[in-house]
Amino acid sequence: MFTLMRALTYSVLFIGFLLVFLPGQLLQSTGVTRPSSIGMPQIAGAILVVLGGALAVWCILTFAILGRGTPAPFDPPRRLVVRGPYKFVRNPMYLGAALALIGAGLFYQSMALVGYALLFLVVVAVFVHAYEEPTLRRLFGAEYEAYCARVRRWWPRHAGGRE
């Protein structure tokens, strides 16, 4: 239970800052306001926000319950997490966050917010390559190598297993 509380606390702080506060500041600084009417871009954007958010929450719960840790680099899972959304792609939490950001950009029809989402993906890709993967290799060794051979970093494999 304590692990779940830590995971939720760190996640709320991360999500609150990177996915709510900073995008809100960006929208405010670019003069974007809430749409006066709801049209297809807002409906599609809201769907992406909900799907991305649900994926991120699923990842957080999977980390806490199966991995006995949190998404925070300073309090990582104690066990390698390869089930749940991690069965399909190695970085689903980041993809869920980016999907939510892109959905918000679509909702507000803000290219600045879509640009922020793309910048987020670039920063995350560098972080994954430079820190996360070397750390996981060191912590979990052959188990992580086998996982990397089975599951792609960003895109799921086709059902037939071919690239």
Residue 74 lies in a domain: yes
- Confirm whether 161 is domain-assigned: no
In a domain, 163, yes or no: no
pLDDT digits (tens, 9 = 90+) for 2-24: 777 776 777 778 778 888 888 88
| 120 belongs to a structural domain | yes
Residue 162, in any domain of the structure: no
pLDDT band at 1 (very low <50, low <70, confident <90, very high): low
Please report, in angstroms and rounded to a whole number, the separation of the first and last CA atoms in the chain.
Answer: 39
- Number of domains forming the structure of the chain: 1
The answer to whether residue 115 is domain-embedded is: yes
In a domain, 88, yes or no: yes
For the segment 69-83, the average pLDDT, to the nearest whole number, is: 84
Q: What is the domain range of residue 29?
A: 2-34+42-150
Instruction: Please indicate, yes or no, if residue 119 is contained in any of the structural domains.
Output: yes
- Confidence (pTM): 0.85
Instruction: List the one residue out of 81, 59, 84, 78 whose CA is nearest residue 8.
Output: 59
pLDDT at 150: 95
